[in-house]
Amino acid sequence: MSKDNILSFSQAKAEPAWLQERRLAAFDKMEELALPNIERVKFHRWNLGDGTIAESDFSENVPDFTALGDNPKLVQLGTQTVLEQLPVDLVNQGVIFTDFHSALEEIPEVIEKHFGSAVSFDEDKLAAYNYAYFNSAAVLYVPDNVEIDQPLEGIFLQDSTSAVPFNKHILIIAGKHSKFAYLEHLETSGQGSEEVSANISVEVIAQAGSQIKFSAIDRLGENVTAYISRRGRLGNDATIEWALGVMNEGNVIADFDSDLIGNGSHADLKVVAASSGRQVQGIDTRVTNYGNNSVGHILQHGVILERGTLTFNGIGHIVKGAKGADAQQESRVLMLSDKARSDANPILLIDENEVTAGHAASIGQVDPEDMYYLMSRGIDQETAERLVIRGFLGAVITEIPVKEVRDEIVAVLDRKLEKR
């Protein structure tokens, strides 16, 4: 790790002084910071970053743009932006959806104000690593009172033929009383076999009265060892509906957090996950109620195939002073193999009276009676198992607001099942 390399990269990008200072402060802080606490997941020896900061070369693994549709979107492959598509009417309303350094030229004060307000650079070692070493980034800014009908789509591709770490920072800023849907793809492109680390930090700033539907599908390849952090910071009466499909092939730890700062703020998190092969996926989903009458709900369902490991930690924290807050969570895991490993770990931290809180958690295997019933109707075992899985995950998938996301999660899950 080299401080000079970070400074050289930042200067080559003509980054402002405040950002250079943030990068260097994060570098200095890293050694004394602990890794994030992901309960019951042993990841401390994983390769989650080697201190490389560099840009990737242009690659041939570019998606077919003709198949991507005409909705607003941003596509990045490695560190390169390969497509920006934003209608003129949204540009005229002040919407910005572009790479980080282009956005710095257009709204420098807005970015300086909000960058790092959801995730502090000194929160833990991996947060500091992202601040110091992120080599690509994106910004979505929707001004006050702007409502967007079409979903905005961010497609962030890790190039399987590149050894450059996939370190990305995504900043989403929703102005007061704005309303939009955002769909995010994190996936590996191509058939290369380079082993690489990934550190992705997504900050969602939901200002007062804003409404965001945030959907994501994570499909990083088996050679990618990743840390994925998504953090929402919600103002008064702001709402974020999270719908997250965790369908990676490699080892992953993830933090999905919502800080309900404002009174009347609302976060609804729905997570679907699947682990297969020998992969380990550990997911922390947290809601912290700071505001009065704030509401945080967590619903997580996952399946495990073969020797896979999946851990759900659901954490609801109502802090002192959050009168009338509500924190609810449910985590359920279905194991399809005797060699699978799972944990569903509910945690409630209640520091205030006059609140509502509850949790549910379960781990189990496919009910033999369900399988017998289906197979007695002439359905083969593989199809019957698939129907049971779809029924189990359907409680979450059907709640995802974007049809394309629902369809893609089902398609990815089917591919995982076919590989067995």
pLDDT digit string, tens, across residues 208-230? 999 999 999 999 999 999 999 99
Q: What are phi and psi of 290, to 5 degrees?
A: -105, -40
Q: Which whole-number Å values give the CA distances from 56 to 3, 53, 100, 167, 419, in the listed order?
A: 20, 10, 16, 11, 31
Q: pTM of this prediction?
A: 0.95
Give, as one character, the DSSP assignment of residue 409: H
- Count CB neighbours of 182 within 10 A: 25
- Count CB neighbours of 60 within 10 A: 9
Task: Look at residue 401 in the predicted model and tell me its pLDDT.
Answer: 67
Q: What CA–CA distance (Å, rounded) separates 389 from 387?
A: 5
CB 168 within 8 A of CB 133: no
Side-chain half-sphere CA neighbours of 274 within 13 A:
27
| pLDDT band, residue 395 (cuts 50/70/90) | confident
Whether 359 has a pLDDT exceeding 90, the answer reads yes
Cβ partners under 8 Å of residue 376, min gap 6: none
Q: What CA–CA distance (Å, rounded) separates 171 from 357?
A: 31
- Count CB neighbours of 33 within 10 A: 17
What are 47-70's pLDDT values in tens digits? 999 889 999 887 777 777 777 788
Q: Which whole-number Å values give the CA distances from 290 to 120, 207, 293, 294, 352, in the listed order?
A: 17, 15, 9, 7, 10
CB 149 within 8 A of CB 180: no
What are 67-125's pLDDT values in tens digits? 778 889 999 999 999 999 999 999 999 999 999 999 999 999 999 999 999 999 999 99
> Cα 224 from chain centroid?
15
What are 284-296's pLDDT values in tens digits? 999 999 999 999 9
